Amino acid sequence: MPSPIIVAPTGQHKLATPEGEVATARAAAACNTIMVLSFSSSCRIEEVASSCDAIRFYQLYVYKRRDVSATLVRRAESLGFKAIVLTVDTPVLGRREADIRNKYAGSPRRMIAPRLANLEGLMSFDDDIDAEGGSKLEHFASQTLDPSLSWKDVEWLKSITTLPILLKGIVTAEDARKAVEAGAAGVIVSNHGARQLDYAPPTISVLEEVVKAVGGAVPVLVDGGVRRGSDVLKALALGARAVMVGRPVFYGLAARGEAGARHVIEMLNKELELAMALCGCPSVGDITRAHVQTQGDRIRALL
């Protein structure tokens, strides 16, 4: 890839543009970068795969019905997806108060938002959007996600696919080491956009801890809070191999569809190049730990 900026998995792109994830895939392909397709895509896996020639990963959750997860993995693998991104920080859905206030309905059939296209025909649901209780996304998650998610599920997933598996949602050294022991091909430092748990640490603050724990055994990626090219430089300096960008791409889609998403990715790339030039880094490989100072560094300097 020409740059270490990857499109993170975010759901329901038809909320932003009528073409949905197809527009995002084409934007990523035009920028020669990877797109991670969300399980909650509003376009089918097959639609996205046939839309353009690009490198794609597939984001997966472990469901109570393992056959549903297995079916999604097989579909992605047969369509040329290159890796599975298993989200491990959502055994249950966090309390998303905005969704509750807005009575957000996010389930595969009758709903206010676009459908979860890839789950149609795989599950049956209690889908009464007029039921009491606020967010129907929370109701959907409680019906489908497996709260018993454990490290054994990584072993199970490895048994049903030849694709490399990256674990998304790691924020501690302990879990990073366990991920490597479980056979993960990569670790993604993520706090789920800070929507799962109040006061979860910002990913940039735990990135270096995870990188040190992994010790180079597998690549470490990071998402969350990347809004400028200089943010990308900071993450690389702290040991990330690449960053994943979610909300900014979604904003670009909302503004100008495919062209807007492409503009966001190109803008971040240009900002990264500028930050590198001003730091005296001719290439990504020249970015080192010496290019950033953390709060811990400043405290140690004062002692």
* Average pLDDT, integer, range 104-114: 51
What does the pLDDT read at residue 107?
Answer: 45
Model confidence pLDDT, tens digit, residues 70-86: 999 999 999 999 999 99
Model confidence pLDDT, tens digit, residues 223-247: 999 999 999 999 999 999 999 999 9
Residue tagged 């966090």 (tokens):
94
Query: For residues 115 and 109, is the Cβ–Cβ distance under 8 A?
Result: yes
The percentage of the chain sitting over the pLDDT mark of 70, rounded to a whole number, equals 90
Side chain identity, residue 174:
E
139 as an active site residue: the answer is no
Annotated catalytic residue: which of 13, 139, 192, 291? 192
Q: Give the containing element (helix H, strand E) for 60.
A: strand 56-60
| Gap between the Cα atoms of 272 and 229, Å rounded | 4
Average pLDDT for the chain: 89
Local structure of 165: helix, strand or coil? strand
* Average pLDDT, integer, range 133-152: 75
Top-ranked range on mean pLDDT: pick from 121-130, 245-254, 289-298: 245-254
- Given pLDDT bands bounded at 50, 70 and 90, which one contains residue 116? confident
The percentage of the chain sitting over the pLDDT mark of 90, rounded to a whole number, equals 68
Residue 109: pLDDT over 60: no
Model confidence pLDDT, tens digit, residues 179-211: 999 999 999 999 988 777 888 899 999 999 999
* Average pLDDT, integer, range 114-126: 69
Residue 129: pLDDT over 70: no
Phi, psi of 187 (to 5 degrees): -125, 135
Which is more confident, 213 or 112?
213
Residue 161: pLDDT over 50: yes
> How many whole angstroms from its chain centre is CA 33?
14
5: nearest Cα among 33, 29, 25: 33
Buried b (16+ CB within 10 A) or exposed e, 30-39: bbebbbbbbb
What does the pLDDT read at residue 287?
Answer: 97
Work out whether the CA dihedral 106, 108, 114, 117 comes out positive or negative: positive
Query: What is the CATH code for 5-92+145-302?
Result: 3.20.20.70
72: nearest Cα among 109, 143, 120: 120
Return the domain boundaries, the chain. Answer: 5-92+145-302
Query: For residues 34 and 1, is the Cβ–Cβ distance under 8 A?
Result: yes
What does the pLDDT read at residue 280?
Answer: 96
Where do the H-state alpha helices sit in 110-192? 136-144, 152-160, 173-181
What does the pLDDT read at residue 159?
Answer: 96
- Given pLDDT bands bounded at 50, 70 and 90, which one contains residue 125? low
Model confidence pLDDT, tens digit, residues 19-56: 999 999 999 999 999 999 998 899 999 999 999 988 99
280: nearest Cα among 216, 237, 222: 237
Helix axes 247-278, 229-237, angle to 10 degrees: 70
DSSP β-ladder status, 5-7 and 186-189: unpaired
